[in-house]
Structure 1
Amino acid sequence: MIRRALAGLAFVLAGAAAPMPEARLLSFDDLSGWAEDDHAAALDVFLSTCGDMRGRDWATLCAFARTGPEPRAFFERFFLPVEWQGEALFTGYYEPELRGDRWPSDYYHVPLYAPPPELPTSGPWLTRRQIEETGVMEDRGLALAWVADPVDAVFLQIQGSGRIRLPGGEMMRLGYAAANRREYSSLGEMLIERGIFEPHEVSAERIRAWVRANPEEGAELIRRNDSYVFFRRVDDVPADQGPLGAMNRSVTPMRSLAVDPAYVPLGAPVWMEKAGAEPMARLMVAQDTGSAIKGPQRADIFFGTGREAGRAAGTIRDGGRLVMLLPIQLAHAVAADPGTEIR
């Protein structure tokens, strides 16, 4: 994802791969709310990445999509809905926007680093605690920017990308570059385990406030999360566009999803029916990934940039269902044999 989120933390497990779940072929009449959606908005997002997809079917459909077909008819004529069996879980993610500076000061004292040259390309590196306590990153010209709040820095690492608003209003955009490949531990879950918050009380704002009120305990809490993410400058993405997803294209608020590419091909249209306090039914596009996004019915909704988007994304943990739209022949092949190559 973007990232995004905890990218680089997945570990390869030995042994035989798990069998693919059953894939069920549906009709568009089975998709609740299909007729009411803005198919033109979804087609625009599909066009932003379909040219990067593999396979003759995808290339043909992408070329035709560029001719300006009627959007709903395009999807209904050339695709079929396919649903992997399993329990759905939707969460949300966003692009943080923080105030910071290129240089450290008493106020901006938390660094955001580029990866060091000795970072291995595989296997784990130093833990967060070791990185911070040994000073291995200091005074090497690796700090890209400095921010004020250590919790904001951790949240930026979790999301995997973000914007830094510099003094004078200039914007610096950072993207995921690498990670230390250590296990991620949630600050919220650790606070729940310690009895400081109940599960329904946890939010980014509450975590931030607790760490500020308890700076020594807060610093120790943060260091218990072994994961550490490094960044790179992303200067070629305009400020009015979303951050880069896994397809190296900007993602779109409320139309881009992070998925597990083992089950959903990146670039594919995906129909989402999210339950919860604020149900949502709309056509999305699978344009991002994340190491926490694993499984046939797992997806992360991109909510946009800034604190309001972060608040909205942080409230999402809902069920529902995820239905991918595949080219007709491919859809039939997957329904007959779930092990069919879908990319």
Structure 2
Amino acid sequence: MRWTVLSGGAALLAVAGLLSACASGAGVTASNRVAMEPTSFKEIPGWSDDKHAEALAAFRHSCPRLEVSADTRIPTGSGERVVTAAEWRQICARAAKVRSGDERGARHFFEESFRPLVVQAPAKFTGYFEPELRGSRAPSRLFTVPVYRRPADLGDKPYYTRAEIEQGALKGKGLEIVWVQDPVALYEAQVQGSARVHLAEGGALSLGFDGSNNRPYTAIGGVLADMGIMKREDATWPAIRDWLKRHPQQGRDVMRKNERYIFFKDTRSAAPTGSEGVPLTAQRSLAVDTAFTPYGTPVWIETVRPVAGKPGATESYRRLMVVQDSGTAIKGPARGDVFFGSSARAAEWAGRMVSGGRAIVLVPYKG
């Protein structure tokens, strides 16, 4: 689950997302009403060139949830489209008939099963990824930084601050899941909401979001800018990470300016899992504000992505995504947070991406 607007890294200054909440929302209200304009797939630039089989594979991950969900309510501008579990079962049954890797069949499935609506609001896209850490199930001189599970006494009220927790407020309560080596890497994992820990004992541990301390989130990119350490436009996550590692003592104090602290759980999964409860697919899963677009909904995005290894350079980025994640600070009808995966390149894309563009929601067709 994405817990912060700080999607990936560029969001350290802004924040990230495209749609939030749960598939069975309360329906269209004044707060989530947004203008949407019908279009056709032929009028979507780049549609015919996308790899629709990849998007279909990601969509299938959502099907088990959609097929047993309460009614899905999708705002359509003039009202809402209510999709029942029975309708989703029919759609997913058609999806299951398309052979894996069949690009033509996958494209035909989306064109026959959905109708595109252009969101009439300025879009903003950022990215996130799954950090990889080194750790151990037991503390040592090398692995000194504890990763905590959700405390039993955590309620809805503000809990210990980040500084208090790091100074030992939870020590001795048996909440440690694992110990890691790098406090900056753990902070990064908390920003992303998930991580994979490669264990010294062998194997790996998959960490997933399991709540926060209910404290306010502060973007440390803004903190560094206010301190005069770097310009706001230069405060991407790669730049921030580099500064934190070069200034460990001062960096600790800067990170503690963000009082929010994230608790994790062992998801026992081979793949990162979004807040929909399904595995995330690199460059096909999208975190959004589900008050506007619910889980499982395909969304076409038109934006630009940073070029890996070329700071400041961007390239066209147009593709079909599936809503499979959300976050408490991801708000708005045209805010999207792209899951880029877990590689070093994914980290660079996520850390530098903050782009405008256009979002097109695919609404199930009811003939």
Q: Report the TM range for the smaller structure's normalisation.
A: 0.7 to 0.9
Q: Secondary structure at the match of 1:305?
A: coil
**CA distance, structure 2, for counterparts of residue 148 and residue 307 of structure 1:** 18
Deviation, structure 1 residue 292:
2.8
Matches within 5 A, 1:278-297: 278-297=315-334
Which residue, 277, 282, 286 being the options, matches 1:257?
286
1:165 aligned onto 2:198: yes
Q: Secondary structure at the match of 1:212?
A: helix
Aligned length: 316
Q: Which residue of 2 aligns with 1:27?
A: 40
Deviation, structure 1 residue 6:
6.7
Deviation, structure 1 residue 17:
5.2
**CA distance, structure 2, for counterparts of residue 212 and residue 41 of structure 1:** 37
Matches within 5 A, 1:117-196: 117-120=152-155, 122-133=156-167, 135-196=168-229
1:302 aligned onto 2:339: yes
Maintained 8 Å contact 1:97/1:307: no
Q: Which residue of 1 aligns with 2:116?
A: 81
Bigger Cα displacement from structure 2, 182-191 vs 48-57? 48-57
Q: Secondary structure at the match of 1:295?
A: coil
Maintained 8 Å contact 1:165/1:172: yes
The one-letter code sitting in structure 1 at the alignment partner of 2:282 is: P
Instruction: Quote the sequence identity (%).
Output: 40
Q: Indicate the RMSD between aligned Cα atoms, in angstroms.
A: 2.0
**CA deviation profile, 1:86-118 (whole Å, cap 9, x unmatched):** 110000000000111112222221111011111
Deviation, structure 1 residue 175:
0.7
Maintained 8 Å contact 1:6/1:157: no
**CA distance, structure 2, for counterparts of residue 245 and residue 149 of structure 1:** 24
**CA distance, structure 1, for counterparts of residue 161 and residue 338 of structure 2:** 29
Q: Secondary structure at the match of 1:249?
A: coil
Maintained 8 Å contact 1:259/1:288: yes
Maintained 8 Å contact 1:93/1:313: yes
**CA deviation profile, 1:170-196 (whole Å, cap 9, x unmatched):** 111111111111111112221111110
**CA distance, structure 1, for counterparts of residue 97 and residue 173 of structure 2:** 51
Which residue, 62, 65, 75 being the options, matches 1:52?
65
**CA distance, structure 1, for counterparts of residue 106 and residue 161 of structure 2:** 49
The one-letter code sitting in structure 2 at the alignment partner of 1:315 is: R
Q: Compute the TM-score of the two structures, normalised by the length of structure 2.
A: 0.81
Which residue, 272, 275, 298 being the options, matches 1:246?
275
Which residue, 61, 71, 74 being the options, matches 2:91?
61
Maintained 8 Å contact 1:119/1:125: yes
**CA distance, structure 2, for counterparts of residue 230 and residue 19 of structure 1:** 30
**CA deviation profile, 1:215-270 (whole Å, cap 9, x unmatched):** 332221111111000011111x22xxx30011111100011111111111210111
Maintained 8 Å contact 2:136/2:201: no
Q: Which residue of 2 aligns with 1:321?
A: 358
Distance 1:5 1:159, change over 3 A: farther
Bigger Cα displacement from structure 2, 294-303 vs 40-49? 40-49
1:230 aligned onto 2:263: yes
Q: Which residue of 2 aligns with 1:198?
A: 231
Q: Which residue of 2 aligns with 1:13?
A: none
Maintained 8 Å contact 2:127/2:350: yes
Gaps of 5+ in 1: 11-15, 331-343
**CA deviation profile, 1:107-160 (whole Å, cap 9, x unmatched):** 22111101111111x232222123233x22102221111122211111111111
Q: Compute the TM-score of the two structures, normalised by the length of structure 1.
A: 0.86
Deviation, structure 1 residue 4:
5.0
**CA distance, structure 1, for counterparts of residue 3 and residue 132 of structure 2:** 15
Which residue, 267, 277, 284 being the options, matches 2:296?
267
Maintained 8 Å contact 2:32/2:292: no
**CA distance, structure 1, for counterparts of residue 318 and residue 245 of structure 2:** 38
The one-letter code sitting in structure 1 at the alignment partner of 2:349 is: A
Runs of 4+ in 1 over 6 A off after TM superposition: none
Maintained 8 Å contact 1:6/1:160: no
Bigger Cα displacement from structure 2, 122-131 vs 105-114? 122-131
**CA distance, structure 1, for counterparts of residue 171 and residue 325 of structure 2:** 32
